[in-house]
Amino acid sequence: MKKTSLIFAVLSLAACTKTPLPAEQTVYEDALIILNEGAFTGGTATLDAVGGSVDTVVQSAFSTENGYALGNIGQHMIAADSLLVVSVNNAGVVRGISRKSMLERWSTLVAGPRYLAESGDKIVVSTWSSDYIKILDKYSGQFLDSIDVFGVSEQIHADGGIVYIGLNGGFGNDNRVAVVDLNTNNVDTLLVGDKPNSFVQVGTAVYVLCAGYEDWAGSASTPASLWKIENGIATEVIAAPTSADHAIALKSDGTDLYFLNASYSGAVVKTSLNPTSWPSTAITNAGGYNLDLINDILYVHDAKDYASAGKIYQYDLSGTLLDSIDAGIIPRQALAN
């Protein structure tokens, strides 16, 4: 009788003991993650992992780990605690992905998602599908709210609970920045240059690079311009000299500003925070589709012919070429841990 009781006790204890979950892989944790848009027609975006302490090189890491594709046209990614959050434009989805394992943790359908920002426990998603930005829960991807910003939205910059959103008109034109208080959902708009496309913050000042409108069919193009928002007021810092001058992908090391001097196939130019003239001397080769600045290294994304493998060129802040990285189809962003 005692032996039977002892057996039941052992079995009960075994039934209550939880099997520990296997530890997540860490091969990706300190690697550089590259987002490739993928071919526009019939292609898929990819995430590549390069470098890190174990010299990782994993192409298409997301599909390798999950067994399915990321989706058509990778638009933007951000780090949010232990997650990578990626917007996939044509697929209409935002994915939360483990930074360590590349395994998907959640996905949420959002029509035409563009850019992302993290604010506390929220993910802000801009979109061209409506005049509303979408608010998701960072940890679950659950839809929380929509906020009318009175225009189609593009790049986002979050400063605590205040979010700056470029209203660029999508395929048309716009010249406003929406300033959203996520605590109250109050929205103000500020006038800036045509087609605001990127932000950086230095101290209390938020700099806005405006690409200028490119009229491919006529003569209505407008020049690029640089603006500064401080104390709720937007002021123009400087404008490009001609309507043929356009610019994208503003970055800063806290002392100087860097951007591409063309909306396609641009070269990097460098200027101070308070320039007196539009920067016209390139410090890198042309060919840049997008630009990142990570640990004082400029990453110039070269999409080549937009149909085959691209390349990322690494330059120091003076424009000296340091190295290059093989990438997928249309590399548009790099993100380090």
Q: Where are the domains of the chain?
A: 110-191
pLDDT digits (tens, 9 = 90+) for 247-286: 999 999 999 999 999 999 999 999 999 999 999 999 999 9
**Closest by CA position to 319, among listed 281, 274, 279:** 281
Higher pLDDT pick, 8 / 304: 304
Residue 219: pLDDT band (50, 70, 90) is: confident
Task: Output the CA–CA distances (angstroms, integers) from residue 174 to 76, 107, 195, 213, in the order listed.
Answer: 21, 31, 6, 9
Q: How many percent of the chain have pLDDT more than 90?
A: 86
Please report the pLDDT score of residue 57 as a whole number. Answer: 84
* Assigned CATH class of 110-191: mainly beta
pLDDT at 2 over 70: no
Mean pLDDT, all residues of the chain: 92
- pLDDT, residue 24, reads 55
Whether the predicted pLDDT of 236 surpasses 70:
yes
pLDDT tens for 288-305 read 999 999 999 999 999 999
The more confident residue out of 327 and 10 is 327
Q: 5 phi and psi, to 5 degrees?
A: -60, -40
Kindly give the residue spans of alpha helices, DSSP state H, lying in the chain. Answer: 2-16, 61-66
The answer to whether residue 6 scores a pLDDT higher than 50 is: no
Using only the alpha carbons of the chain, give its radius of gyration: 23
**Contact (CB, 8 A) for 224 and 211:** yes
DSSP classification of residue 287: -
At residue 3, the pLDDT reads 41
Whether pTM exceeds 0.85: yes
**Per-residue pLDDT, 25:** 57
Is residue 16 helix, strand or coil? helix
Q: How far is CA 108 from CA 67, 95, 96, 256, in A?
A: 18, 7, 9, 37
